[in-house]
Amino acid sequence: MTSTSVRIEAVSKRFGEVTAVDRVDLSVAKGEFFTLLGSSGCGKTTLLRIVAGFMPQSDGRILFGDACIDAVPAHRRNTGMVFQNYAIFPHLTVVENIAYGLRARGLAAGEINERVGRMLAMMRLEHLGHRRPRELSGGQQQRVVLARAIVIEPDVLLMDEPLSNLDTEMRVHLRGEIRALQRQIGITTLYVTHDQEEALMMSDRVAVMSGGRVEQVGTPAEIFHRPRTRFVAAFIGETNFLPATRLGAGGNDTALYDVPGGGRLAVPSGQASAAGSPAEVAFRSHDLIVGPATESGWTATVTDTQFYGATVRLVLELAPNVFAQAALTGAAAQTLPPPGSRVGLSLHSQSPWIFPAKPQ
Amino acid sequence: MTGLAYTVTPNWLSRHLGFWPVVTALAFVALVALLVLPVINIVGLSLSGKDDQPGVLANYITFFAERFYYQTLINSLIVSSAATILAVLLGVPAAYFATIYNIWGRGFVRAAVVLTFVSPPFIGSYSWVILFGRSGLVTATLAEIGIPLPSIYGAPGIVLVFTLQFFPFVFLMVSSGLKSIDQSIEDAARNLGSSELSVFFTVLLPLLVPSISAGALLVFVAAFTDIGTPIIIGERFRVLPVLIYGEFVNEFGGRPVLASTLAVLLLAVTTGALLVQRWYAGRHAHGTAAIRPLMQREQPPLKRLLASAYVLLLVGMALLPIINIVISSFLKANGPLLLFEPTLDNYIRLLRTVAVPLTNTLLYTTAATVLCAVVGTAVGYIIVRRPGRLGGLLDGVVMFSYAVPGIVLGVGLIVTYNEPPLILTGTAAILILAFFIRRLPFSVRSAVSMLQQLSRDTEDASINLGAGPGRTFLRITVPLLAMAILSGVLLTWSNTIRELSATLVLQSGSTITLSVEIFTEVVNANFGTASALGTILILLTFLPLVVLFRFLGKQEDALV
């Protein structure tokens, strides 16, 4: 497979007064599965469409390998794109859909047949070759457009929320399949999604975007365990934010923070905020351990218990109008403190993160 | 970069200019040559002053100073406004009953409205003369038993014909407007304690303002610019478009300056009406879209009976002239007198003369329809898919041609192309181009609405797979829109084949069309021949629509 690295250098896109993409720098290695993650309107789809050549960027440049492709029109960029709503050609059969890009490239009929045949086999679509798209299920249509994008041997595979129109079961199934396929053929992939689970599970690296900017780039584990900004901490996973005051140094090269409910949390000095400035501590709901209340420890009052099946969430009031959530699973979820009872709190071994407090 | 394993062979044009920029430029050239330039020329001529009285406004001063001229404008405004008001008063309740009530004969009502809508107005007016004219069938029969009828000639006759001929505009617009109101809106009003009547006036009517005003505008413009009806039934009641036409058949040679001045006034009124309607409808637009449209409801027997009677009577009246034409085409005729003797004479007599106008009509209509389909789809594509300053300007120019009446376009084309470098007057080309430009806004609008429903991603996918813009348009966009384009073709055909007002001023003897031939026969009081020709024309107009509604599953509101 001939694929390439992608470099996005200081790319911005403005629509009138609105800046949809704001000085984004990204570098995707050859063969890497790279995901742009963010909620709607964060600029991720705009960026993908710029890479595909559907709109010009306002500033910056894009390179495939060492070649700047800004002047190359969309139909000569040799990217394979998979669209959110499939964009299958409804008037063409499965085979004609897959062969479309090869025909546009003027390949010989023999080679087209051979490559389409190989693709049908790879996608397990052989028996559907002469069907029309309306006779296919959503999952089958998605496999057809994936085959259509891959068969042209694109430099980069671009995927714009390809799974969001499918039901949960099919989505879970296909994301495993797409991931395996991408590994197998080693194609550089730029993937757009708003689904964090999808992003974490499928990607080699993830860029979290917000307001047109990249908040953080890293492996899924880095993004999840070491969020660099408050936005990333809030966007990924379930996170509690509590106002905190820095008290001074704790043991083992840590800084000590006072949090509502009488808690004292230790943070490695290297990550601590400047002394005296207001800060927030943040930690995951599932890292909060709920136990019996103690005289001097960190305590809270249970105000609600929400049953989700495998997980039970406790809503805790730490101080008047300061709330946090605890997500309990397994044995901890079997015996629940009733609403109104006082409980003691502690954190799992992983330390909380510190962010500067949001300006009021 | 390792990709691009295929050879890149762009053609010269797309390498230097790109497919769509070239198409855009061609569209502009066509619109400027066929619409903008003619309009500029008539405005220019109207401001060129008079021989004995220089000054840019001299012609307008003459117009407004002499009663002979300005009275036609007043007359036109009177009959058009009256017809518009009546069409709204009759059409809105009819559309409401036909949509909401379980009236009898709904299929008949739909067919009758369509038939009325597409039949040429001048056929309607001379059919009324056959029935209620001085020596008309009904007039004569009633006179024998001593019942005198009021005269059908003059303003009342014009208003009658216009109202019955054009109320389908209101009917179709309001029917489609009602379909865009969600049932829950009505339910909520009823639930809050409103009676049916009060729901209609406090909820439905306000929501229908854009539809009603759009229908009213179409009635007004159609009535204000019609030539055939006032000539046939108006007698001494003179209206503005007939005055313009008169300038062209003037035996001392036409006076292009005067004709241009009159045409500019006509254009000013239609443009003004269009702008007022846009502004008014825009202020009252609520952007409703029905998830569950208003339902048809069972009514108590008496209500059902009265509503059915009202709707059937109205569409029956409107349909009467057409039925009359078809029947009288099989009756023996002696000039304007019809005898009750079945015969095929009218058709047999036609055999000798019909070949030229029929061939011309089919040829010009087909050519204009093809042009409309090709250019309309391309221009619609530019407006929807390639918005920008040029696309916006194109949109504006195309929509302006809505406001340009046939006779104005005819005058404009003649003054523009009757001298070197390009002489087109008297040729078939000028008729085809006039038909084309008149229907272009409709083709563009239908292309725009179908493209807005087509996800852009499908075309992007094609581009992404390496097909250029031209190839994508031909291989993806056009096939996907094939049915919609076919619908547009059928509608264009039906509307073009009966064109009269532009044709009257643009045709020469050898380029005569069916509608002009019928008109001539009517003016010469050969009612038998006129009826036979009229029947043929109605058939040619109606057949494509049968295909459209039967096989393409279109609703009647596709007509407006």
CATH number at residue B62: 1.10.3720.10
Query: Kind and range of the H or E element at A18?
Result: strand A18-28
* Separation of alpha carbons B494 and B488, rounded Å: 10
Non-local (6+) Cβ contacts of B478 within 8 A are: B377, B485
| Angle subtended at Cα B392 by Cα B391 and Cα B393, rounded to the nearest 5 degrees | 90
Number of Cβ within a 10 Å radius of residue B358:
18
B275 membership: H or E segment, kind and range: helix B256-283
At B250 the pLDDT is 64
Answer whether residue B10 is part of any domain.
Answer: no
Query: Would you place residue A7 in the very low, low, confident or very high pLDDT band (cuts 50, 70, 90)?
Result: very high
Find out whether B378 and B23 touch, Cβ atoms under 8 Å: yes
- Same domain assignment for residues B40 and B60: no
Q: How many angstroms away from the CA of A199 is the closest CA of chain B?
A: 23
Average pLDDT over residues A122-141: 90
Nearest CA to A220 among A198, A200, A195?
A200
Which stretch of DSSP H or E encloses residue B38? Answer: helix B37-46
ipTM over 0.85: no
Whether the upstream peptide bond of residue B421 has omega within 30° of 0, thus cis, is yes
Looking at residue B110, its pLDDT comes to 85
CA atoms within 13 A on the CB side of A98: 31
**CB distance A83–B479 less than 8 Å?**
no
Please indicate, yes or no, if residue B415 is contained in any of the structural domains: yes
A contacts of B4 (beta carbons < 8 Å): 76, 78, 155
A105 within 8 A of B421, measured Cβ to Cβ: no
Alpha helix segments (H runs only) across chain A: 44-52, 94-104, 109-122, 138-150, 168-185, 196-202, 220-225, 230-235
CB contact under 8 A, B457 and A91: no
> What tens digit of pLDDT does each residue of B83-109 get?
999 999 999 999 999 998 889 988 889
Question: Are B463 and A79 in contact (CB < 8 Å)?
Answer: no
The rounded distance, in Å, linking the Cα atoms of A360 and B6 is: 58
Residue B9's pLDDT is: 43
Nearest-by-Cβ selection for B1 from A65, A84, A87: A65
Residue B6 banded pLDDT, cuts 50, 70, 90: very low
Residue B120 belongs to domain spanning: 54-328
Does B494 map to a domain?
Answer: yes
Distance (Å, rounded) from C-alpha B325 to C-alpha B337?
13
The partner residue sitting opposite A87, judged by closest CB among B2, B3, B460, is B460
DSSP state of A245: E
Contact: A65, B2; criterion CB under 8 Å: yes
User: Which pLDDT band, with edges at 50, 70 and 90, does B288 fall under?
Assistant: low
* Segment B438-462, tens digit of pLDDT: 889 888 888 888 888 888 889 999 9
In a shared domain, residues B232 and B364: no
How many folded domains does chain B comprise? 2
Q: How far apart are CA B499 and CA B407, in angstroms?
A: 10
Q: Same domain, yes or no, for B21 and B146?
A: no
Same domain, yes or no, for B130 and B266? yes
Same domain, B282 and B220: yes
Together in a domain, B304 and B423: no
Average pLDDT rounded to a whole number, residues B418-432: 83
Find the helix or strand (DSSP H, E) in which A326 lies: strand A322-329
Q: Say if CB A198 and CB A172 are below 8 A apart.
A: no
Same domain assignment for residues B217 and B74: yes
Taking only the tens place, the pLDDT of each residue in B180-234 is 888 888 887 777 778 888 888 888 888 899 899 999 999 999 999 999 899 989 8
Task: Mention every residue, 6+ apart, whose C-beta is less than 8 A from residue B135.
Answer: B336, B337
Q: How confident is the model at residue B522 (pLDDT cuts 50, 70, 90)?
A: confident
Instruction: Tell how strand A6-15 and strand A79-82 pair up.
Output: unpaired
- Both B321 and B350 in one domain: the answer is no
> Does one domain contain both B546 and B508?
yes
Q: Do B417 and B510 reside in the same domain of the chain? A: yes
pTM: 0.78
Q: What gap in Å lies between CA B394 and CA B383, rounded to an integer? A: 7
- pLDDT by residue (tens digit) across A30-60? 999 999 999 988 999 999 999 998 889 999 9
Q: Are residues B240 and B357 in the same domain?
A: no
Averaged pLDDT for residues B251-272: 83
Contact indicator for B91, B208 with CB cutoff of 8 Å: no
Q: Which residue of A has its CA nearest to B479?
A: A91
Does residue B2 form part of some domain?
no
Q: What is the DSSP string of B232-252?
A: HH-TT---HHHHHHHHHH-TT
- Whole-Å CA distances, B493 to B439, B490, B537, B538: 9, 5, 12, 12
Of A4, A87, A149, the CB nearest to B458: A87
Cβ-in-10-Å burial (0-12, 13-18, 19+) of B96 comes to: buried
Is B158 among the domain residues?
yes
Domain presence at residue B107: yes
Q: How far is CA B225 from the centre of its chain?
A: 11
At A22, is the secondary structure helix, strand, or coil? strand
Q: Both tokens of residue A163?
A: 């799974």
